Structure 1
Amino acid sequence: MRKTYKILISGQVQGVGFRPFVHSLAQEFLLTGTVSNNEEGVIIFVSGLEESVFKFYKKLIQFPPPVSRIKDHEISLIEDMVYDGFKINPSKKGGQLNLSLTPDFAICDICTIEISDPENRRYGYPFTTCVNCGPRWAITNTFPFERNHTSIDEFEMCEACLNEYTDPEDRRFHSQTNTCATCGIDLFLYDQSGEKVVVPKATLFKKIASLLLEGYIIAIKNTSGYLLCCNAENEEVVQQLRDKKNRPNKPFAILYPSLGHLKDELQVNALQEKSLTSAERPINIISLKGYKGKIALQKVAPGLNQLGVMLPYSGILQLLANELAIPIVATSGNIHGSPIISENGEALEKLKEVADYFLQHRLKISHPQDDSVVKFSTRQNKEVLFRRSRGYAPNYFNATLNSGEKIMALGAHLKSSIAYNPNEFLYISQYLGNLDNFDVYHRFTTTAIKFIDLFEQKPELILYDKHPLYQSTQYGMELAKQLGVKSYQIQHHKAHFASVLGEHELFDCANPVLGVVWDGTGYGDDGHIWGGEFFDFRSKKIERIPHFEYFDWLAGDKMAKEPRLSLLSLAGPQMQSTVSEKFSKEEWTIYQALQKHNKLKTSSVGRLFDAVASLLNICDINTYEGEAAILLENLVINYSLKDCKSYLNDIEDVISPKEIIHKISLDKESGESIEQIIINFLYTLALSIMAMAKSRNYRHIALSGGVFQNTTLVDMLIELVPKEIKLYFHKELSPNDENISFGQIMYYLHLKN
Structure 2
Amino acid sequence: MLKTYKIYISGQVQGVGFRPFVYNLATKHLIKGSVSNDENGVVIYATQTRDNIKLFYEELLKNPPPVSHILASEIKPTNFFKFDNFKIIPSSKNGNINLPLTPDFAICEACKTEINNSTNRRYNYPFTTCVNCGPRWAITQSFPFERNHTSMDMFTMCDDCEKEYTNPGDRRFHSQTNTCSTCGIQLHLEDTNSKKITINISITFKKVAQFLTDGKIIAIKNTSGYLLCCNAEDSEVIQKLRKLKNRPNKPFAVLYPSLEKLQKELKLNELQVKSLTSKEHPITIISSENYQGNLVLNEIAPKLNQLGVMLPYTGILQLLANELDFPIIATSGNIHGSPIISNNEDAIEKLKNVADYFLHHNLKITQPQDDSVLKFSFKFKQPVLFRRSRGFAPNYFGAQLKSTEKIIAMGADLKSSITFYPNQYIYSSQYLGNLENYDVYNRFIAMVNSYIKIFEQQPQVILIDKHPLYHSSEFGRDFAKKNKAKLIEIQHHKAHFTAILGDHNLFKKKVLGVIFDGTGYGDDKAIWGGEFFNYEKNKIKRINHLEYFDWLLGDKMAKEPRISLLSLATSEMDGILSVKFTPNELKTYKTLKTLNRLKTSSVGRLFDAVASLLNITDYNSYEGEAAILLENLVTGYNIKNCKSYLNSIEKGISSKEIIKQIAIDVKKGKSKQKIILNFLFTLANTIIEMAKTNNYKYIAFSGGVFQNTTLVDMLIELVPKEIKLYFHKDLSPNDENISFGQLMYYIHIKK
TM-score (norm 2): 1.00
Which whole-Å deviations, capped at 9, do the CAs of 1:672-694 have from their partners, x for residues lacking one?
A: 01000000000000000001001
Which whole-Å deviations, capped at 9, do the CAs of 1:99-118 have from their partners, x for residues lacking one?
A: 00000000000000000000
Residue identity matched to 1:738: E
Which residue does the alignment assign to 1:145? Answer: 145
Which residue does the alignment assign to 2:735? Answer: 737
Runs of 4+ in 1 over 6 A off after TM superposition: none
Residue 589 of structure 1 and its aligned partner are, at CA, apart by: 2.1
Residue 293 of structure 1 and its aligned partner are, at CA, apart by: 1.1
Residue identity matched to 1:166: T
Which whole-Å deviations, capped at 9, do the CAs of 1:35-69 have from their partners, x for residues lacking one?
A: 00000100101110100101110111111000000
Which residue does the alignment assign to 2:27? Answer: 27
Residues 167-182 of structure 1: matches in 2 within 5 Å? 167-182=167-182
Of stretches 648-657 and 5-14 in structure 1, the one that deviates more from structure 2 is 648-657
Which residue does the alignment assign to 1:422? Answer: 422
Which residue does the alignment assign to 2:487? Answer: 487
SS at match of 2:665: helix
Which residue does the alignment assign to 1:296? Answer: 296
CA separation in 2, counterparts of 1:372 and 1:749? 28
Residue identity matched to 1:3: K
Could you tell me whether the CA contact under 8 Å between 1:408 and 1:418 is conserved in 2? yes
Which residue does the alignment assign to 2:499? Answer: 499
Which residue does the alignment assign to 2:638? Answer: 640
Could you tell me whether the CA contact under 8 Å between 1:161 and 1:178 is conserved in 2? yes
CA separation in 2, counterparts of 1:586 and 1:406? 55
CA separation in 1, counterparts of 2:505 and 2:651? 28
Which residue does the alignment assign to 1:695? Answer: 693
Which residue does the alignment assign to 1:134? Answer: 134
Residue 578 of structure 1 and its aligned partner are, at CA, apart by: 1.0
CA separation in 2, counterparts of 1:117 and 1:724? 56
Could you tell me whether the CA contact under 8 Å between 1:652 and 1:688 is conserved in 2? no
CA separation in 2, counterparts of 1:116 and 1:752? 58
SS at match of 2:168: coil
Residue identity matched to 2:191: D
Residue identity matched to 1:641: I
CA separation in 1, counterparts of 2:494 and 2:619? 30
Residue 651 of structure 1 and its aligned partner are, at CA, apart by: 2.1
Which residue does the alignment assign to 2:745? Answer: 747
Which residue does the alignment assign to 1:314? Answer: 314
CA separation in 2, counterparts of 1:743 and 1:645? 34
Give 1:597's match in structure 2, choosing from 595, 598, 612. Answer: 595
Residues 460-479 of structure 1: matches in 2 within 5 Å? 460-479=460-479
SS at match of 2:519: coil
Residue identity matched to 2:671: S
Residue identity matched to 1:519: D
Residues 513-524 of structure 1: matches in 2 within 5 Å? 513-524=511-522
TM-score (norm 1): 0.99
SS at match of 2:520: coil
Residues 263-662 of structure 1: matches in 2 within 5 Å? 263-509=263-509, 512-652=510-650, 654-662=652-660
CA separation in 2, counterparts of 1:519 and 1:483? 33
Could you tell me whether the CA contact under 8 Å between 1:550 and 1:602 is conserved in 2? yes
SS at match of 1:499: helix
Which whole-Å deviations, capped at 9, do the CAs of 1:406-425 have from their partners, x for residues lacking one?
A: 00000011001000000000
CA separation in 2, counterparts of 1:33 and 1:545? 60
CA separation in 1, counterparts of 2:544 and 2:170? 63
Residue 402 of structure 1 and its aligned partner are, at CA, apart by: 1.9
Residues 692-731 of structure 1: matches in 2 within 5 Å? 692-731=690-729
CA separation in 2, counterparts of 1:78 and 1:412? 49
CA separation in 1, counterparts of 2:684 and 2:202? 57
Residue 28 of structure 1 and its aligned partner are, at CA, apart by: 0.7
Residue 508 of structure 1 and its aligned partner are, at CA, apart by: 1.4
CA separation in 2, counterparts of 1:94 and 1:585? 72
Tell whether 2:223 aligns with 1:235.
no
Which residue does the alignment assign to 2:73? Answer: 73
CA separation in 1, counterparts of 2:695 and 2:508? 18
SS at match of 2:518: coil
Which residue does the alignment assign to 2:47? Answer: 47
Could you tell me whether the CA contact under 8 Å between 1:699 and 1:724 is conserved in 2? yes
Could you tell me whether the CA contact under 8 Å between 1:232 and 1:327 is conserved in 2? yes
Which whole-Å deviations, capped at 9, do the CAs of 1:327-354 have from their partners, x for residues lacking one?
A: 0000000000000000000000000010
Residue identity matched to 2:652: V
Residue 610 of structure 1 and its aligned partner are, at CA, apart by: 0.2
Which residue does the alignment assign to 2:199? Answer: 199
Which whole-Å deviations, capped at 9, do the CAs of 1:576-599 have from their partners, x for residues lacking one?
A: 221122112222222111111000
SS at match of 1:92: coil
CA separation in 2, counterparts of 1:419 and 1:652? 39
Tell whether 2:243 aligns with 1:255.
no
CA separation in 1, counterparts of 2:353 and 2:321? 25
Tell whether 2:667 aligns with 1:664.
no
CA separation in 2, counterparts of 1:108 and 1:284? 19
SS at match of 2:679: helix
Which whole-Å deviations, capped at 9, do the CAs of 1:461-508 have from their partners, x for residues lacking one?
A: 000000001000000001111111111000000000000001111111
Could you tell me whether the CA contact under 8 Å between 1:139 and 1:367 is conserved in 2? yes
CA separation in 2, counterparts of 1:482 and 1:352? 39
CA separation in 2, counterparts of 1:357 and 1:590? 49
Of stretches 394-403 and 250-259 in structure 1, the one that deviates more from structure 2 is 394-403
Tell whether 2:156 aligns with 1:156.
yes
Which residue does the alignment assign to 2:188? Answer: 188
Structure 1 spans left out of the alignment, 5+ residues: none
Residue identity matched to 1:212: L
**Alpha-carbon RMSD:** 0.6
CA separation in 1, counterparts of 2:69 and 2:615? 49
Residue identity matched to 1:466: K
Residue identity matched to 1:279: K
SS at match of 2:648: coil
CA separation in 1, counterparts of 2:84 and 2:604? 66
Residue identity matched to 2:76: S
CA separation in 2, counterparts of 1:84 and 1:653? 79
Which whole-Å deviations, capped at 9, do the CAs of 1:594-640 have from their partners, x for residues lacking one?
A: 11100000000000000000000001000000000000000000100
CA separation in 1, counterparts of 2:421 and 2:15? 21
Could you tell me whether the CA contact under 8 Å between 1:47 and 1:82 is conserved in 2? yes
Structure 2 spans left out of the alignment, 5+ residues: none
Could you tell me whether the CA contact under 8 Å between 1:115 and 1:122 is conserved in 2? yes
Could you tell me whether the CA contact under 8 Å between 1:652 and 1:691 is conserved in 2? no
SS at match of 2:527: coil
CA separation in 1, counterparts of 2:2 and 2:630? 69
SS at match of 2:580: coil
Residue 652 of structure 1 and its aligned partner are, at CA, apart by: 4.1
Q: Percent identity?
A: 65
CA separation in 2, counterparts of 1:566 and 1:355? 38
Could you tell me whether the CA contact under 8 Å between 1:653 and 1:692 is conserved in 2? no
Could you tell me whether the CA contact under 8 Å between 1:652 and 1:692 is conserved in 2? no
Of stretches 582-591 and 437-446 in structure 1, the one that deviates more from structure 2 is 582-591
CA separation in 2, counterparts of 1:462 and 1:299? 44
SS at match of 1:718: helix
Residue 653 of structure 1 and its aligned partner are, at CA, apart by: 5.0
Could you tell me whether the CA contact under 8 Å between 1:17 and 1:131 is conserved in 2? yes
CA separation in 2, counterparts of 1:271 and 1:85? 45
